[in-house]
Chains A and B, each alone.
Chain A
C-alpha cells in the first residue's frame, strides 16, 4: 500500500513539475502560428511585414480575470499597434468543455466589443502548449529580430487585476516602451494570475 501511495505521489509531483518547467521565457525564440481568426481568415505573424513585434495574449470569453482585463487589452492595441506592436489575441480553451469559448461566441464577443485586433482560436491547443500558457490572460511580448521572434516578456498585463491602484505596475506597457526605446525590458516576467487553460480531455 505504501508503495502504491508513493507511486501516486510521484506521479502527482511529476505532473506538477512538468507544468512549472514548460513554456517560453524571456530570451526564447517563439514559433509563428497559423490560426483561424473570428472573420474566418487564417492569421500568421509572418503576414505583418511592417510590425516590430507582437503583443500575443492568450485570453478568452468565459474567464472573469480575462474579462476584467478586456478593456486594458483593447487599450494596448490602440496604443501600440501604430507603433509597431499590435495585439494578437488567442483563445486557448476547449469549446466542448467550455462552450462560452466556442468559435461562434468568440465571433460574437469580438463584434460586440469592436475588437481592433485578431481573436484567434487555437483549435488543436498546440500553440498554447508550445508557448506554455497556463492561465488566461497571459501575455507573450515578442520582438522581431534577425534571429526570429524573441520573447521579451511573459506574464500578466499589470499587477492590479481589480484596477484599484492607479500606481499599478504596467508590466506590458513598460516592456513595450523599453523595446521602442531600443532597451531591454527591466522586468521580463511575472505571474499570470487567472483561469486555468481548459484542456481537451485526452
Chain B
C-alpha cells in the first residue's frame, strides 16, 4: 500500500474513532433543544449498559441511523447509567459495540425528575424510546423493544 493511500485512509477514519469514543452528558434542557428542529425526525432511545433488552435492540437503532444518514433523521442514544459510570462503563461499551449513532449520558438531578420531564406516561422502566417530529406534532414515548422493521415503520410514518 502506498504511503499516500495509507495516510488518506487514516485521515478518513480518524473522525470515526473520535466519534465512537465520545459520550457527552446531556441535560433535559439540552435534549429539548437538541430535538427541536422542525424538519427532523428524532428517535431518542433511553438505555443503560446493564439493561439487557436495551443492549439487544441498540444495533437496530444504529442501523436505522446508518440507513437514513442522509435523511432528516437523528437517532440519539441516551444512557441512563449513573453518571459516575461514564468512563468506566458507558464509553468502553460504546467503543466495544462500535456504535455510530450519537451517544449521550443523561445528566440529571435524579431519575424521577428526568423521567417525568421526558414523558409523564413513562413508567421508569428501560428501554424507552421517544419519537419526536416538531413539524408534525409528534411526541410519543414507547416502552417496548424495537426490531429494525418496527423502527423503519416508525421512521416511514413520522418522517
| Chain A interface residues toward B at CB < 8 A | 5-6, 8-9, 12-13, 15-16, 19-20, 63-65, 134-135, 155-156, 159-162, 164-165, 168, 190-197
Asked if A193 contacts B142 (CB within 8 A), the reply is no
Given contacts A134-B123, A135-B125, contact A13 B116 (CB under 8 A): no
A19 to chain B, nearest CB (A): 5
B32 within 8 A of A: no
**Interface residues of B, count at CB 8 A:** 30
Asked if A159 contacts B111 (CB within 8 A), the reply is yes
Asked if B156 contacts A156 (CB within 8 A), the reply is no
| CA distance in complex: A99, B31 (Å) | 36
Asked if B124 contacts A9 (CB within 8 A), the reply is no
Asked if A20 contacts B82 (CB within 8 A), the reply is no
Given contacts A12-B144, A161-B110, A191-B115, contact A196 B126 (CB under 8 A): yes
| CA distance in complex: A197, B53 (Å) | 11
Given contacts A20-B143, A190-B112, A191-B116, contact A6 B127 (CB under 8 A): no
| Chain B interface residues toward A at CB < 8 A | 50-51, 53, 80, 82-84, 110-113, 115-116, 121-127, 140-144, 150, 153-154, 156-157
Given contacts A8-B150, A16-B142, A20-B143, contact A191 B156 (CB under 8 A): no
Asked if B157 contacts A5 (CB within 8 A), the reply is yes
The residue of chain B having its C-beta at the shortest distance from the C-beta of A8 within the complex is B153
Asked if B111 contacts A156 (CB within 8 A), the reply is yes
The residue of chain B having its C-beta at the shortest distance from the C-beta of A16 within the complex is B142
Residues on B with beta carbons closer than 8 Å to the beta carbon of A156: 111-112, 124
Asked if B143 contacts A16 (CB within 8 A), the reply is yes
Residues on A with beta carbons closer than 8 Å to the beta carbon of B141: 16
10 CB < 8 A contacts A-B:
A16-B121, A19-B143, A63-B50, A135-B124, A155-B124, A156-B124, A159-B110, A195-B51, A196-B53, A196-B127
